[in-house]
C-alpha cells in the first residue's frame, strides 16, 4: 500500500471512530450495544425486557405516566430514574427514585404544550438503560 492510501485510510478510520454511537443507532429498532436497549433489541438482556422496558401512557392535560415493572430491592437492584427526551434527544424531565422509599418505579411528567415524539428512558442499576417512545 502506498503512503497516500495509508494516510487516506487512516484518516477515514479516525473519523469513523469519532462518530457517536447515538448517531449510528438513531432508530429505535437499531441493534442495542451498550448505550440503550429496547423491546425489539434487548441485546444481552433479552430475558430482562418485562421488568426493564418503560411503559408510557398519555394521560390528560399534556401529561404522561411512566411505569417500569421492576421491583425495588433496596440498593441491590432497582430503577435509578426515568428520563424524558424530546424528538431531538434534548432533556425534558427526569424523576430519580430512592429504592429505600419508592415502592415502585412510577412517574408522571407534565410536558405542557409539547407535541411530538418523546423518548422515555428507564435506568436500572444492573441492567443498563432501556428506551421506549411515544407521540404526544
Q: How does pLDDT run across 37-62, given as a tens digit for each residue? A: 999 999 889 899 999 999 999 998 89
Q: List pLDDT tens digits, range 4-15.
A: 554 444 544 444
pLDDT at res. 36: 87
In CATH, 26-135 is 3.20.20.120: no
Q: List pLDDT tens digits, range 63-119.
A: 999 999 999 999 999 999 999 999 999 999 999 999 999 999 999 999 999 999 999
Residue 28 has pLDDT above 80, yes or no: no
Which ranges of 19-132 would DSSP assign to H, the alpha helix? 21-24, 49-52
Whether the CB-CB separation of 80 and 94 falls below 8 Å is answered with no
What are the extents of the domains in the chain? 26-135
- pLDDT band of 35, cuts 50, 70, 90: confident
Dihedral angle sign, alpha carbons of residues 9, 10, 13, 16: negative
Residue 22 has pLDDT above 50, yes or no: no
Residue 34 has pLDDT above 80, yes or no: no
Q: Compute CA distances 88 → 20, 96, 118, whole Å.
A: 15, 22, 9
pLDDT at res. 23: 35
84 forms bridges with which residues in the sheet?
93, 120
SS3 content of the chain, % helix, strand, coil (to 5): 20, 35, 45
- pLDDT band of 120, cuts 50, 70, 90: very high
Amino acid at each position: 500500500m502506498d503512503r497516500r492510501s495509508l494516510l487516506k485510510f487512516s484518516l477515514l478510520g479516525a473519523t469513523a471512530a469519532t462518530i457517536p454511537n447515538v448517531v449510528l443507532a438513531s432508530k429505535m429498532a437499531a441493534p442495542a450495544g451498550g448505550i440503550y436497549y429496547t423491546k425489539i433489541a434487548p441485546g444481552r438482556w433479552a430475558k430482562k425486557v418485562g421488568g426493564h422496558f418503560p411503559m408510557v401512557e398519555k394521560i390528560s392535560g399534556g401529561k404522561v405516566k411512566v411505569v417500569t415493572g421492576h421491583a425495588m430491592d433496596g440498593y441491590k437492584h432497582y430503577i435509578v430514574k426515568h428520563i424524558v427526551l424530546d424528538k431531538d434527544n434534548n432533556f425534558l424531565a427526569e424523576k430519580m427514585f430512592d429504592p429505600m422509599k419508592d415502592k415502585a418505579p412510577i412517574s408522571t411528567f407534565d410536558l405542557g404544550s409539547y407535541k411530538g415524539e418523546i423518548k422515555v428512558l428507564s435506568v436500572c442499576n444492573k441492567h443498563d438503560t432501556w428506551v421506549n417512545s411515544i407521540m404526544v
